[in-house]
C-alpha cells in the first residue's frame, strides 16, 4: 500500500512539489512558534522563590512637617513598628514584615552595589528585608537543612541568587562568604536562593542579593518612604479581608504622624506591574498570534488538500467502481498526505535545528537536546493532526459520490 502511494506521489510530482513546500514551511513555522511559547511559559511558571498568595502590601501615609497636626516629637520608625504590632495582633494575620531597597517582588529596581568574593567581584541588585519577610513571602534557600527563619532572625545572613554565587565563586555552592569591599575586612555569610523579585526582568543577569536586617535597624537606617510593609493572611481569613480589616481597625490605623490608608493584594500588584512592563500584552499577543497562525495553517492545508481531492474525483470514482470502499479511499487520501509530510520532515528538522536559538525569548530550564526533541514531537503531532483534519472532510465528501457520476466528472 505504501509503495503504491509513493508511486502515485512520484507520478504527480509537479503538483505535489508545491504541497511539500507548503508542508515544509508550515512545519518550520509551527516549530518556531512552539519554541517561542516554550521560552515564554518557562518564565511564567518559573520558580520565583516566593509565594504571593494571601499576601498584601500595606499603603501608609506620613504627615510632613508643614501639616498643622504634625507631631514633631514622634519618631517615624517607632510609629511603623507600633502599627506592625497592632496588625500582628489582628485575627487572621500570620506575619508582618518590612522590605526596602526594592527587595520586594515586582519593584523593577535597578539599584545595587559591587560585592566581592575571594578573587572576583560582581555588581548585584540588592535590598533589605526584615526577618519576618521569610514567613510573609515564604522564602526558601537551596540548602534544605537550613532554618532560614532562624538564620534571618540572627541578622547575619543574606540571600544570593544562583547567578551571583556562580559569578563570585565560579561554582554552584549553596553557602558562601562574601565581602562588601575589596579590603576583605567585612565578611558576610550568604546562602543560595531562587528568590528574584521579577521572573521577567534580567537586570544584572539575575545577580541579586537580599540582606536580612533586624526590623528596628531596617526602619532606622533606611530613608523614610523607602520602606514597605507587607502582611500574610491565613487562608481561612482571606475572604473579604481588606474591607473587614479597614473597618474594624479604623481607630487603630494611626500612630503619631503615620496612618495606614489601604491594603493591596500582591497578586493585583503583580498584574498591574506586569501590565506596565508590557508583559501581559506580550503574552496575550503571543497567544493570539499562535492561535491565529494555527488556524491559518489549518485553513491552508485543508484548502490545498480539498483542491487536490476535488481534482482527483474521477480517479476516486474509478477506484470505487473497481471495488474500493469509502474507508479505503479516505485511508488512501490521508496516507498520501502523511507521506508527503514525511518526505519534508527531515529537511524541516535540519532547518529548525539551525534556527533553534534565534527566536527564543528566555532560557528554558531544559537541556537543549531534550527541548529540541520535545518540540519536534509536539510539532510533528500538530502537523499530523492538521493534515488528517484537512483531508478528512474533502475525502469523506469525495468518497460519497456516486461512482458513475464520478467517472463522468471533469
Q: How confident is the model at residue 402 (pLDDT cuts 50, 70, 90)?
A: low
Q: What is the pLDDT of residue 335?
A: 82
Q: What is the pLDDT of residue 7?
A: 64
Work out how many domains the chain is built from and give that number. Answer: 2
Question: Across residues 51-70, what is the average pLDDT?
Answer: 83
Q: How confident is the model at residue 262 (pLDDT cuts 50, 70, 90)?
A: very high
Instruction: Looking at the structure, tell me whether residues 108 and 201 fall in a common domain.
Output: yes
Model pLDDT for residues 303-317, shown as the tens digit of each residue:
787 777 767 766 766
Asked whether residue 28 is assigned to any structural domain, the reply reads: yes
Instruction: Looking at the structure, tell me whether residues 136 and 217 fall in a common domain.
Output: yes
Q: How confident is the model at residue 56 (pLDDT cuts 50, 70, 90)?
A: very high
Model pLDDT for residues 333-377, shown as the tens digit of each residue:
788 788 888 889 999 999 988 887 766 655 666 667 788 888 899
Asked whether residue 63 is assigned to any structural domain, the reply reads: no
SS3 readout for 191-240: EEECCCCCCCCCHHHHCEEEEECCHHHHHHHCCCCCEEEEEEECHHHCCC
**In whole angstroms, how large is the CA radius of gyration of the chain?**
32
Q: What is the pLDDT of residue 204?
A: 47
Instruction: Looking at the structure, tell me whether residues 96 and 175 fall in a common domain.
Output: yes
Instruction: Looking at the structure, tell me whether residues 329 and 187 fall in a common domain.
Output: no
* Least confident window among 140-149, 154-163, 357-366: 357-366
Instruction: Looking at the structure, tell me whether residues 102 and 248 fall in a common domain.
Output: yes
Instruction: Looking at the structure, tell me whether residues 38 and 106 fall in a common domain.
Output: no
Instruction: Looking at the structure, tell me whether residues 370 and 244 fall in a common domain.
Output: no
Residue position matching grid coordinates 504571593: 52
Could you give the CA distance from residue 111 to residue 123 in angstroms, rounded to a whole number? 10
List of residues 6+ apart from 399 with CB closer than 8 A: 316, 320, 326, 327, 329, 330
Instruction: Looking at the structure, tell me whether residues 201 and 126 fall in a common domain.
Output: yes
Domain boundary among 240, 255, 270: 255
Domain that holds residue 82: 75-255
Q: Is the pLDDT of residue 49 over 60?
A: yes
Range picked from 115-129, 191-205, 227-241, 303-317 for highest mean pLDDT: 227-241
Average pLDDT of the chain?
A: 82
Instruction: Looking at the structure, tell me whether residues 104 and 241 fall in a common domain.
Output: yes
Could you give the CA distance from residue 327 to residue 330 in angstroms, rounded to a whole number? 5
Asked whether residue 67 is assigned to any structural domain, the reply reads: no
Q: At 55, list the grid cell.
A: 499576601
Instruction: Looking at the structure, tell me whether residues 9 and 106 fall in a common domain.
Output: no
pTM over 0.85: no
Q: What is the pLDDT of residue 141?
A: 83
Instruction: Kindly tell me the burial class for residue 254, based on how many C-beta atoms sit within 10 Å of its own C-beta (0-12, 13-18, 19 or more).
Output: middle
Instruction: Looking at the structure, tell me whether residues 173 and 285 fall in a common domain.
Output: no
Q: How confident is the model at residue 407 (pLDDT cuts 50, 70, 90)?
A: low
Domain boundary among 191, 221, 255: 255
Amino acid at each position: 500500500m505504501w509503495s503504491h502511494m509513493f508511486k502515485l506521489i512520484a507520478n504527480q510530482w509537479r503538483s505535489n512539489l508545491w504541497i511539500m513546500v507548503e508542508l515544509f514551511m508550515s512545519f518550520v513555522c509551527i516549530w518556531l512558534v512552539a519554541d517561542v511559547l516554550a521560552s515564554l511559559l518557562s518564565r511564567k511558571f518559573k520558580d520565583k522563590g516566593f509565594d504571593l498568595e494571601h499576601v498584601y502590601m500595606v499603603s501608609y501615609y506620613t504627615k510632613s512637617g508643614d501639616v498643622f497636626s504634625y507631631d514633631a516629637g514622634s519618631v517615624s520608625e517607632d510609629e511603623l513598628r507600633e502599627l506592625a504590632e497592632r496588625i500582628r495582633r489582628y485575627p487572621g494575620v500570620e506575619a508582618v514584615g518590612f522590605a526596602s531597597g526594592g527587595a520586594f517582588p515586582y519593584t523593577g529596581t535597578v539599584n545595587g552595589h559591587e560585592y566581592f568574593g575571594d578573587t572576583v567581584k560582581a555588581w548585584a541588585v540588592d535590598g533589605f528585608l526584615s526577618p519576618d519577610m521569610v514567613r510573609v513571602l515564604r522564602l526558601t534557600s537551596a540548602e534544605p537543612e537550613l532554618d532560614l527563619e532562624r538564620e534571618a532572625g540572627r541578622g547575619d545572613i543574606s540571600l544570593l541568587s544562583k547567578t551571583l554565587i556562580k559569578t563570585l565563586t565560579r561554582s554552584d555552592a549553596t553557602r558562601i562568604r562574601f565581602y562588601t569591599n575589596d579590603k576583605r575586612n567585612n565578611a558576610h555569610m550568604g546562602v543560595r536562593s531562587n528568590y528574584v523579585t521579577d521572573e521577567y526582568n534580567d537586570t544584572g543577569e539575575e545577580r541579586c542579593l537580599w540582606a536580612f536586617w533586624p526590623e528596628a535597624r531596617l526602619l532606622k537606617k533606611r530613608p523614610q518612604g523607602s520602606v514597605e510593609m507587607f502582611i500574610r493572611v491565613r487562608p481561612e481569613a482571606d475572604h473579604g479581608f481588606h474591607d473587614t480589616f479597614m473597618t474594624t481597625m479604623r481607630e487603630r490605623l494611626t500612630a503619631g504622624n503615620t496612618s495606614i490608608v489601604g491594603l493591596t493584594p500582591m497578586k493585583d500588584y503583580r498584574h498591574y506591574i506586569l501590565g506596565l512592563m508590557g508583559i501581559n500584552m506580550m503574552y496575550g499577543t503571543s497567544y493570539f498570534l499562535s492561535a491565529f497562525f494555527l488556524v491559518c495553517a489549518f485553513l491552508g492545508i485543508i484548502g490545498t488538500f480539498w483542491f487536490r481531492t476535488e481534482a482527483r474525483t474521477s480517479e476516486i470514482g474509478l477506484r470505487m467502481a473497481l471495488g474500493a470502499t469509502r474507508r479505503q479511499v479516505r485511508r488512501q487520501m490521508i496516507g498520501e498526505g502523511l507521506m508527503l509530510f514525511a518526505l519534508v520532515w527531515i529537511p524541516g528538522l535540519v532547518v529548525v535545528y539551525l534556527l533553534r536559538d534565534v527566536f527564543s525569548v528566555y532560557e528554558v530550564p531544559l537541556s537543549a537536546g531534550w527541548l529540541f526533541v520535545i518540540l519536534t514531537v509536539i510539532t510533528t503531532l500538530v502537523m499530523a493532526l492538521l493534515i488528517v483534519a484537512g483531508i478528512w472532510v474533502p475525502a469523506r465528501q469525495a468518497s460519497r459520490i456516486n461512482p458513475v457520476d464520478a467517472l463522468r466528472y471533469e
